[in-house]
């Protein structure tokens, strides 16, 4: 079976997890601090606060920015539902904006038309490791005095104009789910250069607890979104050679590009001169007359895992029933959802694996 994704966890990392378990110091110990330090250094950001998941990172970010009932937040229509879910969870309203098919990120030309007097923030998604057009988004935020939360769940290491994503906005959010290039099982991190926001986020992840004059004070009604030390140690070890992992993914993606280039019914991921893509997922879109689900089945029948990449969130049951935003209003998101396929990618694959995947696709018609 050629798997869609597989975590890269070394025996050395597994041994380190066992050492943490034997130590009895399991929650927010030295490895959480070390992981946060190394993430901050890697991303060149003042603060990195690790939490239990990428969703928790997004949730705490909205709360830290006091986004609440009556507010609206702009989100791309094509993403994993967690992006919109956290907006709902704080009582605010997600305002869906369509995407570009070339980068699968929010179409910045459509953002201003979606801005109302209730919009308080934009939450772009760096989909599949591709950076959104951050120059446009920053300009819009400045013009309309909007807050910026980056959903970089899939995009650790991705860059726009030589600056790492997740470091442009008020807060950036990453995921360490097992399908990500670095995994802690479940886990996430919030990044910010705002020290006051970082202080608030740290309290919000830990029951609202802060140390004041040597005494513990509970300053917020908050959450337990703390990462364990045995999760963090996995991240520490994987981050050591992370740039090497990105290069391997890019090399395999280049091979996909080459082998699929002559199949005229496939759109492959676009490479942009001013963006560094990390390929958390190699996502293709098939032509309208191609039966996407049948192709996925054929790949599965040949021992190749493939699946949907993300969802058109506006047509998922909860959002369709609550907001009634039709697929016709957001056609690119619907097309990417209906015709998109996530193909296997990761350092566990070799060139022969990619050749096999592409041959099955080429033989489809």
110 plus 135 within the same structural domain: yes
Question: What's the rounded mean pLDDT across residues 72-91?
Answer: 98
> Which stretches of the chain are assigned E, i.e. beta strand?
47-51, 72-76, 78-79, 93-97, 119-122, 147-151, 159-160, 163-164, 171-175, 188-192, 209-212, 215-218, 266-267, 275-276, 282-286, 311-312, 340-343
Distance CA 228, CA 27 (A): 4
332-359: pLDDT as tens digits: 999 999 999 999 999 999 999 999 999 9
Tell me the two tokens of residue 140: 């819009």
Q: State the average pLDDT for the chain.
A: 96
pLDDT of residue 28: 84
pLDDT over threshold 90, residue 249: yes
- State which of 193, 223, 239 marks the end of a domain: 239
Listed residue (280, 288, 289) closest to 310, CA to CA: 280
225 plus 108 within the same structural domain: yes
CA 169 to chain centre: 15
% of the chain residues with pLDDT over 70: 100
The domain of 272 spans 242-362
Per the structure, the count of domains in the chain is: 2
269 plus 166 within the same structural domain: no
Confidence of residue 212 (pLDDT cuts 50, 70, 90): confident
248 plus 233 within the same structural domain: no
pLDDT of residue 133: 98
Q: Is residue 122 part of a domain?
A: yes
Cα 5-3-346 angle, rounded to 5 deg: 40
Q: Is residue 1 part of a domain?
A: no
Q: Is residue 3 part of a domain?
A: no
Query: At 205, which CATH number?
Result: 3.40.640.10
pLDDT of residue 20: 92
Question: What's the rounded mean pLDDT across residues 262-282?
Answer: 96
349 plus 223 within the same structural domain: no
| This prediction's pTM | 0.96
pLDDT over threshold 90, residue 126: yes
Residue corresponding to tokens 């959010």: 173
**What are the DSSP calls for 243-277, one per residue?**
HHHHHHHHHHHHHHHHHHTT-TTEEPPPP-TTEE-
How many Cα neighbours within 13 Å face the side chain of 240?
12
150 plus 163 within the same structural domain: yes
pLDDT of residue 10: 92
pLDDT over threshold 90, residue 176: yes
Question: What's the rounded mean pLDDT across residues 279-307?
Answer: 97
Distance CA 159, CA 148 (A): 17
92 plus 106 within the same structural domain: yes
252-261: pLDDT as tens digits: 999 999 999 9
227 plus 332 within the same structural domain: no
260 plus 189 within the same structural domain: no
69 plus 201 within the same structural domain: yes
Asked if 74 contacts 121 with a C-beta cutoff of 8 angstroms, the reply is yes
Listed residue (70, 74, 123) closest to 97, CA to CA: 74
């Amino acid at each position: 079976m050629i798997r869609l994704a597989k975590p890269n966890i070394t025996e050395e990392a597994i041994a380190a997890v066992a050492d943490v378990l034997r130590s009895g110091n399991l929650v927010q110990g030295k490895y959480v601090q070390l992981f946060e330090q190394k993430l901050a250094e890697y991303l060149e950001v003042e603060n990195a606060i690790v939490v239990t998941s990428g969703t928790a990172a997004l949730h705490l970010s909205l709360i830290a920015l006091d986004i609440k009932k009556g507010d609206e937040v702009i989100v791309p229509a094509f993403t994993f539902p967690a992006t919109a879910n956290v907006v709902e969870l704080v009582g605010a309203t997600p305002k869906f904006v369509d995407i570009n098919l070339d980068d699968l990120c929010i179409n910045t030309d459509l953002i201003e038309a979606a801005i109302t007097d209730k919009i308080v923030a934009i939450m772009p998604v760096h989909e599949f490791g591709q950076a959104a057009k951050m120059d446009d988004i920053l300009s819009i935020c400045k013009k309309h005095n909007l807050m910026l939360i980056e959903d970089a769940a899939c995009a650790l290491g991705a860059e726009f104009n030589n600056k790492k994503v997740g470091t442009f906005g008020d807060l950036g959010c990453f995921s360490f789910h097992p399908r990500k290039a670095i995994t802690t099982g479940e886990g996430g991190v919030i990044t910010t250069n705002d020290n006051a926001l970082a202080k608030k986020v740290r309290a919000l992840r830990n029951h609202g607890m802060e140390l004041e004059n040597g005494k513990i004070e509970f300053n917020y009604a908050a959450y337990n979104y703390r990462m364990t030390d045995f999760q963090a140690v996995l991240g520490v070890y994987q981050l050591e050679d992370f740039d090497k992992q990105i290069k391997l993914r890019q090399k395999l993606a280049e091979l996909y590009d080459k082998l699929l280039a002559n199949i005229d019914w496939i759109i492959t991921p676009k490479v942009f001169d001013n963006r560094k893509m990390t390929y958390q997922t190699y996502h293709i879109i098939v032509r309208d007359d191609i039966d996407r689900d049948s192709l996925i089945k054929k790949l599965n029948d040949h021992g190749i895992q493939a699946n949907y990449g993300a969802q058109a969130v506006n047509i998922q049951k909860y959002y369709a029933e609550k907001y009634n935003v039709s697929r016709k209003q957001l056609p690119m998101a619907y097309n990417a959802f209906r015709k998109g396929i996530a193909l296997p990618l990761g350092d566990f694959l070799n060139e022969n694996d990619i050749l096999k995947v592409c041959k099955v696709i080429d033989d489809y018609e």
